[in-house]
């Protein structure tokens, strides 16, 4: 379990670096153009890339910390989903978008609901 926690922290740090980098690291790697952001699926009302990213990282965080640090992990994931998007207001070559922030929040919310359902089914 300790290795999983360390992996979660490493992934979180990498996630923050990707998020605050002034441009797209994936665009640089895949398209040789840091201004292009690869799109996994078409956006709906919210940004799908942001939804998927926060869904995955939140599922991991909730799975690891929900038992002992429930309030802290909820606060961390929701506040980071907002703060990281707001940071795009001051980072060069990045832009703040409400659809991105709502994608972040939706990813955290859906992952929390999934973990609650899993825990509910386990108790039965």
Average pLDDT, the chain: 87
Contact status, residue 66 vs residue 122, Cβ threshold 8 Å: no
Give 13's Cβ-side CA count (13 Å radius): 5
**Contacts for 31 with CB less than 8 Å, ≥ 6 apart:** 38
**More confident position, 58 or 45:** 58
Please give the radius of gyration of the chain, using alpha carbons only, rounded to the nearest integer. Answer: 15
Res. 38: pLDDT tops 80: no
CA distances (Å), origin 39, targets 18, 48, 68, 74, 99: 15, 8, 36, 27, 14
Please spell the DSSP secondary structure of 30-43, one letter per residue: HHS-TTPPP-SS--
Which tens digits make up the pLDDT trace of 55-97? 999 999 998 998 899 999 999 999 999 999 999 999 888 889 9
User: What span, in angstroms and rounded, lies between the C-alpha atoms of 45 and 102?
Assistant: 9
Which tens digits make up the pLDDT trace of 104-117? 999 999 999 999 99
- What ranges do the domains of the chain cover? 2-123
The pTM of this model reads 0.84
Contact status, residue 46 vs residue 34, Cβ threshold 8 Å: no
């Amino acid at each position: 379990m300790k290795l999983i926690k360390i992996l979660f922290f490493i992934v979180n740090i990498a996630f923050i670096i990707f998020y605050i980098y002034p441009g797209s690291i994936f665009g640089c790697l895949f398209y040789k153009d840091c201004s292009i952001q690869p799109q996994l699926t078409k956006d709906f009302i919210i940004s799908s890339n942001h939804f998927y990213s926060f869904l995955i990282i939140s599922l991991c965080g909730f799975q690891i910390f929900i038992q002992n640090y429930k309030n802290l992990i909820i606060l961390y994931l929701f506040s980071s989903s907002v703060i990281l998007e707001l940071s795009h207001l001051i980072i060069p070559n990045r832009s703040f978008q409400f659809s991105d922030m709502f994608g972040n929040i939706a990813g955290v919310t859906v992952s929390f609901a999934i973990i609650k359902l899993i825990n509910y089914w386990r108790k039965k």
